[in-house]
Amino acid sequence: METTRNMRILFAAVTVITVAIFLPALGNGFVNWDDDVYVYDNYHLRSLDGAFFRWALTDRSVVYWHPVTWFSHALDVALWGLHPAGHHLTAIILHGINTFLVMYLVLQVLQAAHARSTDEPFADVRRRERFSLIAAGATGLLFGIHPLRVESVVWIAERKDLLSALFFLLALSSYLKASLPAREGGRMSAPVRRSLPFVWYLLAVASKPMALTLPVVLLLADWYPLGRLRSRVDVLRLLREKVPYFAVSLIVAGVTISAQREVGATPSLELVSLKTRVLVAAGGLTGYLGKMILPLGLEPLYLHPRMIASIGLAHIAQLAFLAGVTVLTLLWARRRPAWLAAWAWYVVTVLPVLGFVQAGSQSMADRFTYLPGIAPTMLAGAGIAEGWELLVRRGLGGRVRSVALAIALSVGAALAAETVAQTGIWKDSVVFWSAVIAKEPERFPAAYSSRATALYDRGEREAARRDIDRAIALDPGFAEAYASRGWMLRREGNLDSAAADLTTAIRLKPAMAEAYVSRGIILGEKGEYARSIDDFTMAIALKPDLVAARVARGLALLRAGRPLQAVEDLNAAIGMSPADTDAYLNRGAAYEELGQWGNAFADYDRVVRIDPGDAAGYNARGGAAARLGRTADAIADQTKAIGLRPDFAKAYFDRGQCYIESGQRSPAQADFRQACELGYGPGCAER
């Protein structure tokens, strides 16, 4: 397909506008709703080595199997570290690329449709080019700047949406191109052209399982715009062609459902009845369309009703609307095939997230419209182009067209303003959860618990305690809230109350392995090593792949005077998570107890290679270097630790010891004095 100069300018302009509207997200931070699991607390992402790729290819800890998404996050960590602006920039660029691909897809669909039609506005070449230009531009803007895109673009943990859509669009686009006559397919060989869509499809489902609907979308494309479904023979041939796609879809769907059941994310029919699921699905199908047309009342979290007791008037209206649209598009399929194709695309692609297999606490989510919204938006773009052609054909003057253009620009400006406003909701964890609480002040105690954690982390302890107490008041059986409050009490030094809260959490949720880990750490801090080891052992029995439990038990064994057993646990932890710096630090300490200073140095060296900003790693490596007689290296490491943490009293003391060892008493005394002033007792004794 030849792209005119005007088309290239249009594509560039729409892409730039889309990116510009999302740039305020660069000022946003992480939010403690999955961003921790996906990025800032995920040690696996700290190094792009063989161990990382093995983990990424096998991990299902977040319910989904999506190695491509893990690779994207790891690449961002390598490029930007844990600075959220860089992660947001990557997401914005990906969305800009997807917007470009959506416009290109419009051209491909129209090209195939034009080839099969002699109707206006397709017969005249100039009109056809103008129609394509307007349809592509309108679709790109409506898709790119719509407020429904915010959640997928601005929520860092939703990188999977952007990636799966990217490869989904590439697969569909390459499929359309491969279906053209060979002379129009470019220089690529026929076998490569035919296999490329499947490669893109594999990458799409390896980014997010929602892309598994692509085989059905390809069959829709075979019908419209390609016109390849003309007989039963065609149907059978094209179905056979899609067998590899459907096989992958079934496998990925099975893996996803299995993972969701393992973590209890899919409630049974006893908790959410089939009637409720059907009505919630109908509400989602109509609700998403309504928000595409009029994006008002957008919420960061639409809570699931769990049980709908009776069918109301609104439910009947929703079901009637869906049935009516389906019947009308079927009746008009011959005259308006694009309508049926767009409706089928929408229904098929949104089907996995309508709640028939319920996962999570939401009934709807704005992010679920990223792929399903493409076809209705394309239809709207074509409708705008057709409306413009109608004005031109009827010879209406420039004033009428100016008014129409002004209306279109006003709509675009309103969408952009709402998108910027929605972006602000994701500013940080406190702002985000405050928005959730404003919408649902009584029904979602987890919002208070999550906001409490964020408030506590930024030093607002009283506000945090009010929130966590509110969460428990709303749901006295909320085990996670007791666990969070226990951890807050532990950080305040109130170990007995902290242990009591964690004991309550365990009583309420006996399978909560993380609560055992937290209580075990508290017991260890109280010197009750035997009991703490028992808690860690229980956590491991409940969740054998819980790395934190093995790291913590290793440290407890070390403190209990059992360094050999500590090394065994820490070896297991490192085997499961080769980038876990705590595991290397603890194993290094165990090697010190065993007198294996070379092994200790190697572990500490690994820590600072994984995380060059880890002051404790430099301090520990400096200590090991000193014991190995490498005094100059030890001083350099302690200096680095102090540079990273100017209040690191032990690093001053250790560097002072190294200065003494090298005969430099004056700087040694200065370091001991500084250590003493920072409250480190041994420094006062040496001063």
Residue 553 lies in a domain: no
pLDDT digits (tens, 9 = 90+) for 196-243: 999 999 999 999 988 999 999 999 999 999 988 888 888 899 999 999
| Residue at 156 is within a domain | yes
Does the pLDDT value for residue 1 go beyond 50?
no
Residue 459 within any structural domain of the chain? no
Tally of structural domains, the chain: 2
pLDDT in tens, 461-491: 999 999 999 999 999 999 999 999 999 999 9
Q: Read off the pLDDT band of 184 (50, 70, 90).
A: very low
How many CA atoms are closer than 13 Å to the CA of 192, on its beta-carbon side?
Answer: 5
Structural domain span for residue 317: 5-424
Choose the weakest-confidence range: 81-95, 112-126, 376-390, 627-641: 112-126
Per-residue pLDDT band for 61 (boundaries 50, 70, 90) equals confident
Report how far residue 110's alpha carbon sits from residue 382's, in angstroms, rounded to the nearest whole number. 9
* Most confident stretch, 42-46, 77-81, 305-309, 363-367: 77-81
The region, left, alpha or beta by phi > 0 then psi within -120 to 50, assigned to residue 663 is: left
Q: What is the CATH number of the domain that holds 682?
A: 1.25.40.10
The greatest distance separating any two alpha carbons of the chain, rounded to the nearest whole angstrom, comes to: 96
pLDDT band of residue 108 (cuts 50, 70, 90) is very high
Measured CA to CA in angstroms, residue 515 lies from 480, 530, 539 at distances of 8, 17, 8
State if pTM tops 0.85: yes
Last residue of a domain, one of 424, 440, 474: 424
Does a structural domain hold residue 293? yes
The answer to whether residue 452 sits within a structural domain is no
Please list, in sequence order, all residues whose beta carbon lies within 8 angstroms of the beta carbon of residue 627, skipping any fewer than 6 positions away: 592, 597
Write the pLDDT tens digit of every residue in 325-345.
999 999 998 889 999 999 999
Instruction: pLDDT band for 360, please (50, 70, 90 cuts).
Output: low
Does 412 fall in a domain?
yes
With a cut of 60, say whether residue 628 has pLDDT above it.
yes
For residues 419 and 416, give the distance between their C-alpha atoms in angstroms, rounded to a whole number.
5
Q: Which of 402, 424, 446 is the last residue of a domain?
A: 424
| Contact present, 280 and 234 (Cβ < 8 Å) | no
CA-based torsion, 476, 478, 482, 488: positive or negative = negative
The amino acid present at 648, given as its one-letter code, is F
674: left (phi over 0), alpha (psi -120 to 50) or beta: alpha
Ramachandran region of residue 553, left (φ > 0), alpha (ψ -120 to 50) or beta?
Answer: alpha
Residue 490 lies in a domain: no
pLDDT at 269: 46
In a domain, 281, yes or no: yes
How high is the pLDDT of residue 477?
93
Q: Indicate the residue among 391, 424, 457 that finishes a domain.
A: 424
Q: What is the mean pLDDT of residues 511-539?
A: 94
pLDDT digits (tens, 9 = 90+) for 185-198: 456 666 777 889 99
Give the pLDDT band of residue 583 (cuts 50, 70, 90): very high
Residue 358 pLDDT level (bands cut at 50, 70, 90): low
CB under 8 A, 24+ apart: contacts of 539-544: 539/513, 539/514, 540/513, 542/511, 542/512, 542/513, 542/516, 543/513
For the cut 60, the answer to whether the pLDDT of residue 271 exceeds it is no
What is the average per-residue pLDDT within 22-44? 93
Provide the pLDDT for residue 121. 47
On whether the CB atoms of residues 535 and 564 are closer than 8 A, the answer is no
